[in-house]
Structure 1
């Protein structure tokens, strides 16, 4: 018999051990019970669509076994009665660094640094330190008890965590917030791939701009594809191997503003990847575009505090954008919900994680439905990470990750009591904490001292002592179970602290203490009135907090409604056609469907047209600025001698107020150039100044140009001794850069030609797609056109010689202040000149510039344009053109063409703009006077039949902006008066870019960090 019992016991023990399935040796005896718990009589929120009242949740060994109203509770299970309480799934955060090593950035030294051109990472990895797909989060993950506890307190049970460092960051891991072991916590060691535009801790020079980050990531995708298709036979690249492994995982892209989110999605479209995008909180400002990405967003909750605008001078520093974003940021999630955008929510950007529920409730006050909030914190993130069978809801077979709460999860009165993770209980607040809120008579040594009022919530009581019915004191209180300690100073004039300690005695409090004079005290607090809870508000009928209107763009002078194309009839105007008809007096123009329909005299207005009387006014086509740097987040990727792979179209900033200001000066089109920090810069972008529209709507994609540069800026030899690393350092070296790159581009183009013609059939290896050489090959094929920053005659001759030698064409020399010296050579090669009217002597390279330059080139037969290279000058390019009449006697019509038709010709878009001709784009300006006069100003500026600037509307817009500004300031003052937190105003100064500016938005700062 004894043998049988021993065998039975041994069998039970072996069964328990087998069930545990642990591979680690043990030191001591373990509790091998099944961990069966039955939580009964609770309101169980299975997910956002399913709620069970008076239900039972049965768990066993960290897994949910059954959830329903009728659960057969096994013998031996621990039964927990949760009558009146709620059970919710634990929350999930998809943007976490929990358990990851600290990202340590080297401090930036002042002044210029020695360029680090190559990676200093040891091993057979890729060439750039910002590309780190080999980072394996599962190999570095460790339990972090402090961060874990902070996240558990606010309801999280699972997080997706990764190393927040670099442009390609490696894989992420899905982990629970258990404190037992990394082996237990780790649910998926290869759960996701992570990307950003920030180069992170990389000390490598490239990339130094947002467009460089885009180019580097694009090239990495192409390189990985090449490597998989045969490139690995030519080299071993552990980074590309790792990248090919992670690129099939759910891909997460961290951005910090609406435009970088759109930029990320554009990359995803190019490579067939739908990124899950971590946003910056301003997506509501471009809802339609964001919705068009079809991306799921991870939305932050770090809404800005109100600015302290008590001081009017401080208030003046704050922009309309900052004021309105403060008001509207909490509506971001509700705007996405109403717009049908899928999203999750994250606590990652909150400095204080304890603010999480306040922020969630604020979002709900601004219109976020509670069911959408719950989805965004549970089922949606679970689906995105393909873990919906493990976490995110409460169903049989899933992990026992759940919360026990006192109320509706989103109620202000709610208390999270417990957070169970994989079947282990983590106490956040005592479930049955004594509720002793109420009003008490307060006495010390049997003498009435005053009143003690206890309010707040049971888990977070708030205390106030009222002495002699007038003096109100907030004591410091420590409550531990049923023991209580109070300390307070009864008199401010005579500092002295009363120290009391005691216990809860039924409904009363009593104990002992020490008075400021050292004497002992006996104290009591006798309940006189129970706490009267504030009646719950009917949340279903609560009104959503109102905000001001969205502006397009979201800055001062933005439009509440985008203007629309109109049918317009302009009559009796002086029309500068820029065609053979010349200047027409008392003539008419009909604009329909964004085009110029008719030009002539005696025309009749079409039905429904808006008629504009042009009597005494001049109608011209819009000014085209051939050389501009407005509407860009950065202009120089000056880290390498050639960056032909970068695109200015990747960093277009539609919110730049200079767009509006230049519309007010008659400019309709701007050629946005890369800077002059390298011999071969980036690909330019030609945009129409459609104020308030999207990046894609502004861009003219068929205009394919690229920026080259000559001179001091290119060599960077004037950057100091620390910078004497990057080639070239001399003007002779600049010449060799051009020879080298175009010779390689020729070979590159041939390799693709050979492959496309015969290689596919003969099995020739696929060439590596090189974005830099691709752009240069387009130049050789006359598909892309060079605009070259230039000053000195000798260098201009040099580049013309290189072009002649390698058989490519220079389209335009810009600046070209010594153009008058070689106008004949430029004419022979059909090279255009885009110059300043009278800028000179601002550096040694322009000491031989003369104000007759444009006129002399014009008389030689060169296509001449007058450009700005300056945000302020562009507002008066009509006056700059007029200077050529004074300096050199250029005819007025020809001078006008220098800022209209001629730049259109240089940009190869004169087929659709640059003159007033039937069939061309209706980009028109109505001037109140002769357009070359210093007194001329636009009455309206129209692009493709849409008026984007109207002088009368501008006056009304300024008045409205003043009222809106004051409304928001008053609202902020009320916030401060209500005791809500405020922040010190921080002024923002928009950058006026020029060619040589390299203090740009670096990759790590490009997203607004």
Structure 2
């Protein structure tokens, strides 16, 4: 039978080769045999829901012809009896770069000029990070070494694509057989691929995360325009390809759990449900990710423990890193419990050899085995619409399957064979002799040696020699009836004794060899006792150490001082406080404020507490509304898209970082709302995000719903790149202050023409529109047209009087308004003109002399503008200053003699007015949002501290519980550090921690570029 089967295996290899050669010339004898094989008496897992006992799998010419318990064997079939063994569908990986060229992200030299245009020659898109024309099936080159590595893990099929760029082109479904590419590629153009990483592109745009979002959105709108009308005006191979791939399953690769939400939001805009390839931290935002409805591709590349034996090293590991190390193996189990559809991938593994160990670890931490099998077979096949080909062993499917010793997920399971399209690949010998047991070993005149052979399975034996009280670990190789042994027999005499021999009976071997000094020696072993076979185990039944509740608890956000539960609005009555109303009642002593349903319900004295209300004693304390920061750069992943003079298309809402600890720090300083602004790298920057500092919520939940749109403009040194670190490579327009003026004139002239074109189209009847092509959607001009239509409002970075005058004149001449001049340190010189124009001023209290254009700054600036009728606020533009904006406001009492109420309005009611939110925020009045701060003293006093910071009726900072919160964090750190130390002691490979400082963004900072002395940057 064995000879018969081996002959059959040769036939399989030959038939596959013949099929591959069908269109190639044949040199030599043509030998065509039917690829007909029957595997009988096996436990066959047809699919994750169907397992057959004592069943037969029949394959013919690389396809499943029949599977069942009563399959009739046709004449001529090669039969293999697999009694006691199992057959599974072979595994599928849908995020692979197998067969693709390595992507090298080239960095331009510091002295190189920026690259504004694409270097790709031909009729392609203007940005070389957009390359939908890439076709993986044309780029694919089989790689025998990588294919064998994946085959040994049980994979037979992968979806491969070039991991390069924002629009990456199409993926190809390929097998891991070692045939020609012609037969390896099962199906080309299976999927479309996207990311927010520009990859190998050296083009300057985009240089930020929000720029990448904007570029992708614009490319998708351009593709729509090209399909409707653009193809008549120009040839664009990229846009043509982008339209072709729209109907394919689309896979979007992201960098973290917030990226999942970001990608899904882009998909919602274009009516596409992306399949999202995540990073394994999805459990940290599980509710929000589940709500997207997206299917995921999830890696199991669990982080290594850190080497934290040194206490100083341990201080360099963040709470988030500690917690993620512990909880990452729980990710897939939690996704499965939440019914989130996901496939598993080997992508991101430090070594592919870690795959099974990590998968079993995931199963130990809650991933059901059936879900694991689904995630490696049926789900990936369904996600990319190839379930009619692969993923199961149903009739007609491609004959790609595994033969195993037992349960695929068992720690002692052995994969014997991986069949790919009916071709056999041997992973481990299927009928290996079981040598486990105790053997008497004699080497020369030493006959008192014992060889103990152990191991979880016959295929994976472990060897140890007992020589009196000494234990020796030899190197042993067994091939059929041959055995070779290498060992250091005498530790006092260095050198290796080499032995080679053969089996003389089922229980004995003998042979000869050489000692380290070259002398011949004979040897023999005889089994004296058989090993007791260990009980079969599965990953799910492996012992799991009992963990404390904190070990399975997610924090919101997933950083130190995160909340175990997200704060919830509550009914509360704050009694007998000094209430700074910012209304006509002014400052009222001994007053009460009732909060219900996230709103201020009543303000007065002697108010009654409703049932179940939390009553807070405000005696001796001051209650104000929350501080509003008109100019902030916290909680963002990037600040500047400075690649062009105007980047009005980018949106800060696309890059909100809800995990930024500065949110919590500023809550501790009484800040409840912020305008998150683009930086000042270009004349027309990006669109603002107006947020409430809801610590623990996801980015979209922080946005102030219904708020007006704002955008950042800039004047001065940053815009014309006067402070650029390498002036020899300046090429971006403008290079002068008069050039900045021309940018505004040009862009708003174009925006007027654009708005007129759309207005004319929108006036057409439905019938006329059907006969007319709509104009091309331009996201940059959309934002500028919104300014002209008074639907978006300008906050302009400014310092010098002459430039402020210039922009006022440009605005007046082109019919738009400047809502706010921010910084505005020379505002006192033209406050009358600002008031006439209707522009507000948001200033620093007393910053000056940090660069040339602020040399005329004075601390009386805010008061002087205020007295001219300008709506004035004090902003931070700095994460540290925002923690004490109450003190910044207080400075105007000293410098300008403002009253306390006027000073307090500079950081509350006035910024609310500048942001058009004073109907909801900025004062304490019934009906307004319950954004409140309870202070231990007069809020303008230097020793004042917030005791409670409340947003929409939920307490987001509570000084009373702060110490307990920090103690709990330290205890949790200590627990996980001890666990890491134990993991290293147990043999885990630990990595050295490195110091990482969270980036504190400033106006001119560009993502990925950190200048020397960054912490001291000016604004």
Secondary structure of the corresponding residue to residue 485 of structure 1: strand
CA contact under 8 A between 2:106 and 2:201: conserved in structure 1?
no
Aligned to 1:835: 843
Aligned to 1:989: 997
CA distance in 1 between counterparts of 2:108 and 2:491 reads 48
- 1:663 matched to 2:663: no
CA contact under 8 A between 1:633 and 1:1001: conserved in structure 2?
no
1:321-360 matches, cutoff 5 A: 321-360=320-359
CA contact under 8 A between 2:409 and 2:539: conserved in structure 1?
no
CA distance in 1 between counterparts of 2:199 and 2:485 reads 49
**Following TM superposition, by how much is the alpha carbon of 1:318 offset from its aligned partner in structure 2, in angstroms?**
0.4
CA distance in 2 between counterparts of 1:544 and 1:706 reads 53
1:586-665 matches, cutoff 5 A: 586-665=590-669
CA distance in 1 between counterparts of 2:105 and 2:898 reads 58
CA contact under 8 A between 2:91 and 2:157: conserved in structure 1?
yes
1:727-806 matches, cutoff 5 A: 727-758=733-764, 761-762=767-768, 763-806=771-814
CA distance in 2 between counterparts of 1:694 and 1:43 reads 47
**Following TM superposition, by how much is the alpha carbon of 1:711 offset from its aligned partner in structure 2, in angstroms?**
0.9
CA distance in 2 between counterparts of 1:837 and 1:970 reads 48
CA contact under 8 A between 1:633 and 1:651: conserved in structure 2?
yes
Aligned to 1:276: 275
1:473-872 matches, cutoff 5 A: 473-492=472-491, 494-505=493-504, 506-537=506-537, 546=547, 547-701=551-705, 702-719=707-724, 720-758=726-764, 761-762=767-768, 763-872=771-880
**Following TM superposition, by how much is the alpha carbon of 1:18 offset from its aligned partner in structure 2, in angstroms?**
12
Secondary structure of the corresponding residue to residue 712 of structure 1: coil
CA distance in 2 between counterparts of 1:815 and 1:655 reads 27
**Following TM superposition, by how much is the alpha carbon of 1:479 offset from its aligned partner in structure 2, in angstroms?**
3.1
**Following TM superposition, by how much is the alpha carbon of 1:190 offset from its aligned partner in structure 2, in angstroms?**
1.4
CA contact under 8 A between 2:432 and 2:458: conserved in structure 1?
yes
Q: Could you tell me which runs of 5 or more consecutive residues in structure 1 were left unpaired when the two chains were aligned.
A: 1-14, 1003-1009
CA distance in 2 between counterparts of 1:734 and 1:759 reads 41
CA distance in 2 between counterparts of 1:582 and 1:148 reads 76
Secondary structure of the corresponding residue to residue 725 of structure 1: coil
- Using a 3 Å threshold, how does the CA distance of structure 1 residues 853 and 128 change in structure 2: closer, same or farther? same
Deviates further, 918-927 or 434-443: 434-443
Aligned to 1:138: 137
CA distance in 2 between counterparts of 1:238 and 1:189 reads 19
**Following TM superposition, by how much is the alpha carbon of 1:281 offset from its aligned partner in structure 2, in angstroms?**
0.5
CA distance in 2 between counterparts of 1:316 and 1:337 reads 34
**Following TM superposition, by how much is the alpha carbon of 1:433 offset from its aligned partner in structure 2, in angstroms?**
1.4
1:106-185 matches, cutoff 5 A: 106-109=106-109, 111=110, 113-185=112-184
Q: Give 1:961's match in structure 2, choosing from 940, 945, 969.
A: 969
Secondary structure of the corresponding residue to residue 810 of structure 1: coil
**Following TM superposition, by how much is the alpha carbon of 1:314 offset from its aligned partner in structure 2, in angstroms?**
0.6
Deviates further, 515-524 or 778-787: 515-524
Aligned to 2:11: none
CA contact under 8 A between 1:635 and 1:1000: conserved in structure 2?
no
CA contact under 8 A between 2:633 and 2:879: conserved in structure 1?
yes
CA distance in 2 between counterparts of 1:658 and 1:952 reads 20
CA distance in 2 between counterparts of 1:870 and 1:21 reads 67
Structure 2 length-normalised TM: 0.95
CA distance in 2 between counterparts of 1:452 and 1:37 reads 41
Secondary structure of the corresponding residue to residue 214 of structure 2: helix
CA contact under 8 A between 2:364 and 2:541: conserved in structure 1?
no
Aligned to 1:8: none
- Using a 3 Å threshold, how does the CA distance of structure 1 residues 613 and 640 change in structure 2: closer, same or farther? same
**Following TM superposition, by how much is the alpha carbon of 1:765 offset from its aligned partner in structure 2, in angstroms?**
2.5
CA distance in 1 between counterparts of 2:18 and 2:1003 reads 71
Secondary structure of the corresponding residue to residue 718 of structure 2: helix
CA distance in 2 between counterparts of 1:660 and 1:431 reads 59
Secondary structure of the corresponding residue to residue 715 of structure 1: coil
CA distance in 2 between counterparts of 1:16 and 1:850 reads 83
The number of residues matched between the two structures is 986
CA distance in 2 between counterparts of 1:869 and 1:493 reads 72
- 1:42 matched to 2:42: yes
CA distance in 2 between counterparts of 1:16 and 1:736 reads 68
- Using a 3 Å threshold, how does the CA distance of structure 1 residues 61 and 140 change in structure 2: closer, same or farther? same
CA contact under 8 A between 1:16 and 1:33: conserved in structure 2?
no
CA distance in 2 between counterparts of 1:16 and 1:873 reads 70
CA distance in 2 between counterparts of 1:908 and 1:375 reads 52
CA distance in 2 between counterparts of 1:504 and 1:75 reads 38
Aligned to 2:4: none
1:9-24 matches, cutoff 5 A: 22-24=22-24
**Following TM superposition, by how much is the alpha carbon of 1:177 offset from its aligned partner in structure 2, in angstroms?**
1.4
Deviates further, 32-41 or 98-107: 98-107
CA distance in 2 between counterparts of 1:132 and 1:124 reads 12
**Following TM superposition, by how much is the alpha carbon of 1:25 offset from its aligned partner in structure 2, in angstroms?**
2.0
CA contact under 8 A between 1:16 and 1:32: conserved in structure 2?
no
- Using a 3 Å threshold, how does the CA distance of structure 1 residues 537 and 25 change in structure 2: closer, same or farther? closer
Deviations 1:607-637 (A, max 9, x none): 2211111111000000001110000111111
Secondary structure of the corresponding residue to residue 786 of structure 1: strand
CA contact under 8 A between 1:717 and 1:723: conserved in structure 2?
no
CA contact under 8 A between 2:411 and 2:539: conserved in structure 1?
no
Deviations 1:112-153 (A, max 9, x none): 541100101110111000000000112122221111111111
Aligned to 2:1016: none
Aligned to 1:937: 945
CA distance in 2 between counterparts of 1:726 and 1:355 reads 48
Structure 1 length-normalised TM: 0.96
Deviations 1:758-785 (A, max 9, x none): 2754433310000000000000011101
- 1:71 matched to 2:76: no
Secondary structure of the corresponding residue to residue 51 of structure 2: strand
Secondary structure of the corresponding residue to residue 146 of structure 2: helix
Deviates further, 357-366 or 526-535: 526-535
Q: Could you tell me which runs of 5 or more consecutive residues in structure 2 were left unpaired when the two chains were aligned.
A: 1-14, 1011-1019
- 1:104 matched to 2:104: yes
CA distance in 2 between counterparts of 1:421 and 1:38 reads 15
Deviates further, 762-771 or 824-833: 762-771
Deviations 1:44-63 (A, max 9, x none): 00011100100000111111
CA distance in 1 between counterparts of 2:525 and 2:308 reads 44
**Following TM superposition, by how much is the alpha carbon of 1:743 offset from its aligned partner in structure 2, in angstroms?**
0.3
Aligned to 1:315: 314
Secondary structure of the corresponding residue to residue 291 of structure 1: helix
CA contact under 8 A between 1:446 and 1:523: conserved in structure 2?
no
Secondary structure of the corresponding residue to residue 426 of structure 1: strand
Aligned to 1:5: none
Deviations 1:851-906 (A, max 9, x none): 11111111111111001111111010000000000111011100000000000000
CA contact under 8 A between 1:367 and 1:544: conserved in structure 2?
no
CA contact under 8 A between 2:360 and 2:539: conserved in structure 1?
no
CA distance in 2 between counterparts of 1:839 and 1:823 reads 18
- Using a 3 Å threshold, how does the CA distance of structure 1 residues 484 and 16 change in structure 2: closer, same or farther? closer
**Following TM superposition, by how much is the alpha carbon of 1:588 offset from its aligned partner in structure 2, in angstroms?**
0.7
Deviations 1:628-684 (A, max 9, x none): 000011111111110000000000011101101100110000110000110000000
Deviations 1:445-498 (A, max 9, x none): 1422532222223222222223222x2222233333332222222345542221
- Using a 3 Å threshold, how does the CA distance of structure 1 residues 744 and 19 change in structure 2: closer, same or farther? closer
